[in-house]
């Protein structure tokens, strides 16, 4: 059985690949109610752990602590592999694997699927601007949870698949071949520009904000409730989580005609208050958040102007609105004010657009469809310049570099030189932007790799050896080969041409999580 699975910050959504149909999977809660999602929640109590609907059941149980926005744990996986809650330590990677094991069990025993013992092949998505560590931890968590992964896409790329499925006739008739995907989810924002044809899709460029999504809108509403209740002091972890979940539910109930939101809430030990929040005041406070996303889309349009025949917004067939925040009234309103009433199209399946797009990609009738992604971040390494007097960033693969299609060979880049050190020290970084040739913005530092250049050091432990510079370059050459595949994974091979010795490293994950 093939599924498209969108692991969202708030909800995890699955869509089935079923002979040209792509229905969204429904899940049954312990109370017998049906939902078109599985909650992305974990609850912990000492050594006990609950997931999904069972975690939501203990939201107000003082013995349990709820972990919201499970996906956001991935943002810190490179620095923190352990989550500390109420004096207990939980391995993040194990929590994620156990979450997907519980999700797979829910698919088998509490969903609309007739799964039986049939294995599940899954196509999954990650935010476009996530770093490679997060991508690989996500893949490891899915496979550790019992899924057979067949595709890993960026979320806006999957939404492009869903768009062409539901607007195929319009795409075929329109001379405009470019689509701007606006994807505001529960924890991240991504915008993507795609060139779309009947059997060929090329992701031209992406841009996003890693720390802006529905969670930040929940925080605004929660703070308004605290102010209205006269609560100035900090809340406990459990109280804050409970209030944020209440704020999320109220936020998701909003319609364009909503006037006010009612809360019955107070911190533990105090009598609950009935609190009224005026929607117009809430939306006013949220405007700066939406404006940040619009600034990104404007910058993206400017960045692609002049490429592939794009001159401006008029060359786009649509601005396509997807994601968990697509139904938030302020988002569509401001997009239409900026781009026009008829240019903005909201997906009929906004919260499940990514899952449906992934399911479409798994359909055998789309085997001839070529989808080419682009690199979403700059990648390079630091080298010495001026005979060791300065450091220079060597940009290996540039942001927006088109990736090969799934069945195409990887891109290969070479560097060849005479070394000037006894040991080669490779300090790799990826980043969202460059300023005067140096990484800036959100910078991810990869693990350092040391390779022996001096033939006498071959086979030795380099950990305690001093790196020394020679007065003149050594009398042989070293070659570096970088291979970039269709998923944006980079491997690195260094060849010592003095003796032919070669070492290959996979640069997609940090040593701490291997």
The least confident of 149-153, 257-261, 439-443 is 439-443
Query: How much is the pLDDT for 333?
Result: 95
With bands split at pLDDT 50, 70 and 90, how would you rate the model's confidence at 509?
very low
pLDDT of residue 168: 57
What's the pLDDT band for 69 if we cut at 50, 70, 90? confident
Would you say residue 79 has pLDDT above 50? no
Q: What is the DSSP letter of 465?
A: P
Q: Would you state the pLDDT for residue 257?
A: 93
Tally helices (H) and strands (E) across the chain: 10, 29
Of residues 386, 449, 445, 446, the one with CA closest to residue 423: 449
Res. 169 pLDDT band, cuts 50 70 90: low
Nearest to 213 by CA among 320, 340, 331: 331
- Cα Rg for the chain, rounded, in angstroms? 25
**pLDDT band at 513; cut points 50, 70, 90:** very low
Residue 216 CB partners (closer than 8 Å, separation 6+): 289
End-to-end, the C-alpha distance of the chain in Å comes to: 29
pLDDT at 448 over 70: yes
pLDDT of residue 176: 65
Asked if residue 251 has pLDDT above 60, the reply is yes
Cα(24)–Cα(352) distance, rounded to whole angstroms? 7
pLDDT over threshold 70, residue 472: yes
Domain boundaries, the chain: 2-212+287-372, 214-286, 378-513
pLDDT tens digit string along 175-225? Answer: 668 899 999 999 899 999 998 877 778 889 998 888 899 999 999 999 999
Q: Give the per-residue pLDDT at 405.
A: 83
The residue among 322, 323, 330 whose CA lies nearest residue 346 is 322
- pLDDT cut 90: percent of the chain above it: 46
Residue 200 vs residue 494, higher pLDDT: 494
Q: What is the pLDDT of residue 60?
A: 83
pLDDT of residue 263: 94
Between 62-66, 210-214, 251-255, the lowest mean confidence (pLDDT) is in 62-66
What does the block give as tokens for 407? Answer: 């069945």
Please name the residues in contact with 389: beta carbons below 8 A apart, sequence gap of 6 or more.
none
C-alpha dist (Å) from residue 416 to 153, 389, 412, 479, 505: 33, 21, 13, 4, 17
CA angle 420, 424, 428 (to 5 degrees): 125
pLDDT for the residue 512 = 28
- What one-character-per-residue DSSP string does 200-228 give? EEEEEEEEEETT-SHHHHHHHHHHHHHHH
Tell me the β-bridge partners of 514: none
pLDDT of residue 460: 84
* Alpha helix positions (H), 39-146: 52-57, 92-109, 132-144
Q: Where are the beta strands (DSSP E) in 119-271?
A: 121-126, 148-154, 178-184, 189-196, 200-209, 260-265
Q: What is the pLDDT of residue 170?
A: 56
Residue 323: the pLDDT is 92
User: Which residues pair with residue 66 across a beta bridge?
Assistant: 43
Mean pLDDT of 281-293: 97
Closest C-alpha among 118, 92, 62 to residue 513: 92
pLDDT at 346: 92
CATH homologous superfamily for 378-513?
Answer: Substrate Binding Domain Of DNAk; Chain A, domain 1 (2.60.34.10)
Judge contact between 41 and 66, C-beta under 8 A.
yes
Which has the higher per-residue pLDDT, 169 or 37? 37
Q: Render pLDDT for 331-363 as a digit per residue (tens, 0 to 9).
A: 999 999 999 999 999 999 999 999 999 999 888
| Full-model pTM | 0.84
List 5's β-bridge partners, or say none: 14, 124
What count of other Cβ atoms lies within 10 Å of the Cβ of residue 51? 24
Q: Is the pLDDT higher at 341 or at 510?
A: 341
CA 385-481-125 angle, to 5 degrees, is: 105
Question: At 511, is the pLDDT very low, low, confident or very high (cuts 50, 70, 90)?
Answer: very low
Class of the CATH-defined domain 2-212+287-372: alpha beta
CA distance 86 to 105: 28
Q: Is 202 left (phi over 0), alpha (psi -120 to 50) or beta?
A: beta
% of the chain with per-residue pLDDT over 70: 94
Instruction: Please say if the pLDDT value at position 73 is more than 80.
Output: no
Per-residue pLDDT tens digits for 377-426 = 899 998 887 666 778 899 999 988 889 888 889 999 999 999 999 999 89
Cβ neighbours around 279 below 10 Å, total: 18
Dig out the tokens for 104 from the structure.
Answer: 């797979």
C-alpha–C-alpha distance, residues 432 and 439, integer Å: 8
DSSP character string of 354-408:
HHHHHHHHT-GGGTT-EEE-B--SEEEEEEEETTTTEEEEEEEE-TTPBPPPTTS
pLDDT at 24 over 70: yes
Q: What is the mean pLDDT of the chain?
A: 87
The answer on pLDDT for 72 being more than 90 is no
Query: In 10 A of CB 352, how many CB atoms?
Result: 27
């Amino acid at each position: 059985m093939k599924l498209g699975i969108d692991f969202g910050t708030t909800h995890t959504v699955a869509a089935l690949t079923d002979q040209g149909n792509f229905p969204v999977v429904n899940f049954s809660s312990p109370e017998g109610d049906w939902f078109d999602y599985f909650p992305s929640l974990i609850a912990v109590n000492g050594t006990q752990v609950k997931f999904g609907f069972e975690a939501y059941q203990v939201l107000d149980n003082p013995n349990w602590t709820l972990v919201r926005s499970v996906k956001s744990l991935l943002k810190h996986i490179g620095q923190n592999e352990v989550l500390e809650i109420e004096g207990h330590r939980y391995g993040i990677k194990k929590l994620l694997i156990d979450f997907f094991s519980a999700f797979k069990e829910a698919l088998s025993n509490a969903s609309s699927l007739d799964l039986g013992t049939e294995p599940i092949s899954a196509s999954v998505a990650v935010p476009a601007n996530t770093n490679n560590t997060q991508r690989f931890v996500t893949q490891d968590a899915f496979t550790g949870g019992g899924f057979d992964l067949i595709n890993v896409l960026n979320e806006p790329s999957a939404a492009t698949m869903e768009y062409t499925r539901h607007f195929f006739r319009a795409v075929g008739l329109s001379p405009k071949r470019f689509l701007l995907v606006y994807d505001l989810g529960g924890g991240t924002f991504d915008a993507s520009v795609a060139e779309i044809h009947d059997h060929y899709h090329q992701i031209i460029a992406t841009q996003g904000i890693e720390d802006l999504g529905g969670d930040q809108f929940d925080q605004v509403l929660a703070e308004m409730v605290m102010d209205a209740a006269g609560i100035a002091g900090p809340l406990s972890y459990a109280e804050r989580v409970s209030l944020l979940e209440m704020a999320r539910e109220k936020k998701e109930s909003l319609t364009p005609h909503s006037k006010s939101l009612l809360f019955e809430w107070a911190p533990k030990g105090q009598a609950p208050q009935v609190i009224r929040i005026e929607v117009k005041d809430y939306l006013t406070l949220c405007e700066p958040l939406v404006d940040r996303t619009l600034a990104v889309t404007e910058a993206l349009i400017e960045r692609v102007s002049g490429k592939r025949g794009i001159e401006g917004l008029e060359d786009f067939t649509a601005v396509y609105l997807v994601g968990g925040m697509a139904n938030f009234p302020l988002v569509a309103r401001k997009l239409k004010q900026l781009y026009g009433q008829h240019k903005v199209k909201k997906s009929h399946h906004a919260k499940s657009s990514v899952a449906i797009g992934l399911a479409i990609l798994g359909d055998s009738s789309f085997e001839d469809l070529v989808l080419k992604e682009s690199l979403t971040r700059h990648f390079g390494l630091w080298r010495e310049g001026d005979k060791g007097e300065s450091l220079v960033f060597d940009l290996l693969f540039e942001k927006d570099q088109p990736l090969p299609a799934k069945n195409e060979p990887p891109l290969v880049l070479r560097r060849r030189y005479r070394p000037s050190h006894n040991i080669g020290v490779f300090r790799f970084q990826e980043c969202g932007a460059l300023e005067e040739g140096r990484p800036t913005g959100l910078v991810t530092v990869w693990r350092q790799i040391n390779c022996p250049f001096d033939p006498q050091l071959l086979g030795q432990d380099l950990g305690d050896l001093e790196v020394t510079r020679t007065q003149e370059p050594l009398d042989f050459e070293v070659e570096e080969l970088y291979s970039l595949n269709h998923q944006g994974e980079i491997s690195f091979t260094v060849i010592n041409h003095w003796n032919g010795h070669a070492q290959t490293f996979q640069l997609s994950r940090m040593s701490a999580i291997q």
